[in-house]
Structure 1
Amino acid sequence: MTSSSATPARRLRVFDSTLRDGEQAPGNAMNPEEKLELALAIEATGVDTIEAGFPSSSPSDFEATKLIAQALTTAKVATLNRAVREDIELAAEAGGIDHQVQIMATGSDVHLEHKRGLTRVEGLDEIIDSIRFATELGFTDITLGIEDASRGSDDLLRPLIEAGVEAGARTVALADTTGCLIPSEFGAQVARVRSWIPDDVILSTHCHQDLGLSLANALAGVEAGADEVQATLAGIGERAGNTPLEELAAVLLYKGEQLGVTSRLRTEKLYDAYLILSRIIGMSTPRNKAVFGDNAFATQAGIHQAGMLRNPVTYEYVEPHLFGRERGILIGRHSGRSVIRNLFDQMGLGIERELLDEIYDTYIAGRKDGTCIELGDLREIITARLLRTTAPAAQMAVTG
């Protein structure tokens, strides 16, 4: 029983970066009209914010931002921008001053030296100037997005964050840009940053998948006090990708109470958005991916099927209908005879050993190439076989 004094769940904000970070990966390019179509589908999933793009990077991103900012009604629009006044002016022109303007800070000495050629003081000064300029233009929703924060030392990050918040940033986004941390490391960093900023400043996470830990790191961040997770559909993004939105949604649905958070995600809308994404960028679906994978809700193993045909809960923790999917019982060489016996029971047939062996030998045992047939197809095969058996007797009864 839950105690009446238990801490109420806090609402976790979900920020979608499919159209920006997701599109940056090779092969994922989208034109403005395609971005708009996908943005509307993503909005239907209940995310809080949709990152439309990087307006200063190309005319296409600028146009996409304009289209999306005019079309969205329930999700907020965000843009990503360098700490450059011209970028912020273009963002205002593309998305208006009511959208969330993210300003990138350089969060590690590695990037300051080898990428930017700046000193720490210069990196700090450009952030203060850019955020102040954004406030002068009328922006009120400003994010300090810290690139490569996961490799930044506290003595670099803390002055940067405190100065950014003082200048007007209302969100701080920590990026594990190279995906180099494990959950205990990232969680500890989030906890430290949380202690540096006021409670009313949103703390966001942006995790990458280079070690396969983007979701684990994001969840560690949530447990450490992060208010928001940045994610992408199917985890697409730079290199190995980002925190997968659908996997985050599944964890929040089934483990949200344990984590002490809720969200407004509509999980049943995610697969529709994924199908649009796949069509637009020509992305094939892996067999083994969680939630969206071809085999995510399918089984071929006879032992598993025997349990699932009695009650799906035996092997099915994530429920397919909650994610716009359907359960698949696929019949192949690993299925055995139990699935045929179960079908005979469902169809009100006795166990006809000769027929069972014939069906198994003809349609299951010989599938050495790994191909499968659907449960419904097998049912039709059994029905057709029974009709062929009974038809002559029925015909004799009529003509006799």
Structure 2
Amino acid sequence: MHHQATSKRVRVFDTTLRDGEQAPANGMTPDQKLEMALRVEALGADCVEAGFPASSPSDFEATRKISRALTKCRFATFSRTRREDIDLAVEAGGTENHEVQMVATGSDIHLKYKRGISRAEAVSEVSTTVSHAAALGVTHISVGIEDASRSDDQLLKDLTETAVSSGATCIILADTTGCMVPQEYGELIGKIRSWVPDAVRVSTHCHDDFGLSLANALAGLEAGADEVQVTLGGIGERAGNTPLEELAAVLSYKSDFYGMHTDIGLDGMYEAYTALRKMIALAEPRNKPVFGTYAFGTVAGIHQQGILSNPATYEYVEPAVFGRERSLLIGRHSGRSILRHLLEGLGAGLTETEIDDLYRRHIAERRGSDCEDLEVLRQRLALELGRREVHPLPELKPELAG
């Protein structure tokens, strides 16, 4: 997977430790956050969000640890548009290599029911707080417009222009409730991109309530966004955020189509996700893209017959690229081709009648969802056929197996 000379590099901002961690049951200790921050840095993220220092001593401590440990990427903190939050963020992480991100109130529904303030007050807060961060010596200042997807042009323009004129270097458009579809979100990003100078970064922050967080982020990139906020495994509020692994996979396989790429190392992501799952006791899903238990597994005979001949028949996204292995599982939907493949490895010269009998007993008559690994069935067949010398399982043709 190569990148065109003209390919645009998309910045990756990881919020696993903030938006990901603030969702139910995802809490991590400062030391666990530090470990995950280092893992995400090693994958090639541009920025790791450490947390919300003003929210708890734990987030303050995590920010302190992470700010001192990262060597290759920037770290970010989350603050409200309040001077005290900014002061605590800077106290925890200093100003060097620190992206101070503050959240502006971006919709009338939030202004009225959450904040109880006017539009003018919301705009004024942005001006005061961004100026305060700049006065403290912070050089990377992001303003995230919360609920931007339910805002209107006037409020968005006022917030954005005030943020930039006060010193903000990045505007983040949050689809906080996951209410947008790609065309809408693309139009939102395009609008902001046309209002701010090229030097100001535009970033996406999408939620997955409709299952569109990745599609919306891609539409945002096509409309001129420079950066995508992601989480590992897509963890985050409610249905989650744009998943890091899905974004990285699409922009690797489809980099020519989009004219874009990321610098995320694909082969280390599953290991990082597995570490995260252990920390937050998250069960591995069966069918999740890239990370699912059976994302590269099949039990269906027609698929298995194709994969045994050439994996490309049913694999466009390749397991080895992501440090995964394909799994051919035996279940009642498996066919005779997988059985013949096993018998070939056992050096068993059987008649069709004998093969039919084995097929009926070991495959066709299985219970509904019952399936098992190839190796387990191979050992059972070896015992049944009295084969002491079991040959290794025939390999897929080397030129096809990658």
Q: TM-score, normalised by structure 2?
A: 0.93
Q: Percent identity?
A: 56
Structure-to-structure mapping, 1:160-239, within 5 angstroms: 160-239=159-238
> How many angstroms apart in 1 are the aligned matches of 2:145 and 2:21?
20
CA deviation string 1:337-390 (max 9, x = no partner): 121123334555545324423332332222214221212233333333343599
Structure-to-structure mapping, 1:251-262, within 5 angstroms: 251-262=250-261
Change in CA separation of 1:322 and 1:125 when aligned onto 2, cut-off 3 Å? same
CA deviation string 1:225-274 (max 9, x = no partner): 10000010111111111111111111111112211111110011111111
Structure-to-structure mapping, 1:1-400, within 5 angstroms: 8-98=6-96, 99-345=98-344, 349-350=348-349, 352-388=351-387
Change in CA separation of 1:349 and 1:56 when aligned onto 2, cut-off 3 Å? same
> How many angstroms apart in 2 are the aligned matches of 1:375 and 1:368?
17
Give the 3-state SS of the residue equivalent to 1:179 in structure 2.
coil
Letter in 2 for 1:372: C
CA deviation string 1:277-333 (max 9, x = no partner): 110100001111111111100000000000001111000111111111110000010
CA deviation string 1:52-103 (max 9, x = no partner): 0000000000000001111111121000100100100100011111200001
- RMSD over aligned Cα atoms: 1.8
Q: Out of 220-229 and 331-340, give the one that drifted further.
A: 331-340
> How many angstroms apart in 2 are the aligned matches of 1:363 and 1:7?
53
Give the 3-state SS of the residue equivalent to 2:204 in structure 1.
strand
Unaligned 5+ residue runs, structure 2?
Answer: 391-402
Contact 1:341 1:351 in 2 (8 A): no
> How many angstroms apart in 1 are the aligned matches of 2:366 and 2:92?
57
Give the 3-state SS of the residue equivalent to 1:209 in structure 2.
coil
Aligned residues: 387
Residue 43 of structure 1 deviates from its aligned partner by 1.4
> How many angstroms apart in 2 are the aligned matches of 1:70 and 1:349?
62
Give the 3-state SS of the residue equivalent to 1:47 in structure 2.
coil
Contact 1:76 1:100 in 2 (8 A): yes
Residue 26 of structure 1 deviates from its aligned partner by 0.7
Letter in 2 for 1:208: H
Letter in 2 for 1:87: D
Letter in 2 for 1:234: G
> How many angstroms apart in 1 are the aligned matches of 2:350 and 2:67?
63
Letter in 2 for 1:375: L
Unaligned 5+ residue runs, structure 1?
Answer: 392-400
Residue 28 of structure 1 deviates from its aligned partner by 0.5
Give the 3-state SS of the residue equivalent to 1:145 in structure 2.
strand
> How many angstroms apart in 1 are the aligned matches of 2:153 and 2:344?
66
Change in CA separation of 1:172 and 1:355 when aligned onto 2, cut-off 3 Å? same
> How many angstroms apart in 1 are the aligned matches of 2:344 and 2:163?
68
Q: Out of 352-361 and 39-48, give the one that drifted further.
A: 352-361
> How many angstroms apart in 2 are the aligned matches of 1:166 and 1:358?
78
Contact 1:215 1:243 in 2 (8 A): yes
Q: Out of 372-381 and 279-288, give the one that drifted further.
A: 372-381
Change in CA separation of 1:298 and 1:28 when aligned onto 2, cut-off 3 Å? same
> How many angstroms apart in 1 are the aligned matches of 2:52 and 2:350?
65
Residue 109 of structure 1 deviates from its aligned partner by 1.2
Q: Report which of the two structures shows the higher radius of gyration computed on alpha carbons.
A: 1
> How many angstroms apart in 2 are the aligned matches of 1:204 and 1:297?
32
Residue 213 of structure 1 deviates from its aligned partner by 0.7
Give the 3-state SS of the residue equivalent to 1:30 in structure 2.
coil
Q: Out of 340-349 and 262-271, give the one that drifted further.
A: 340-349
Q: TM-score, normalised by structure 1?
A: 0.93
Give the 3-state SS of the residue equivalent to 2:66 in structure 1.
helix
Give the 3-state SS of the residue equivalent to 1:317 in structure 2.
coil
> How many angstroms apart in 2 are the aligned matches of 1:370 and 1:84?
55
Letter in 2 for 1:218: A
Letter in 2 for 1:319: E
User: Aligned residue for 1:396?
Assistant: none
Change in CA separation of 1:70 and 1:385 when aligned onto 2, cut-off 3 Å? same
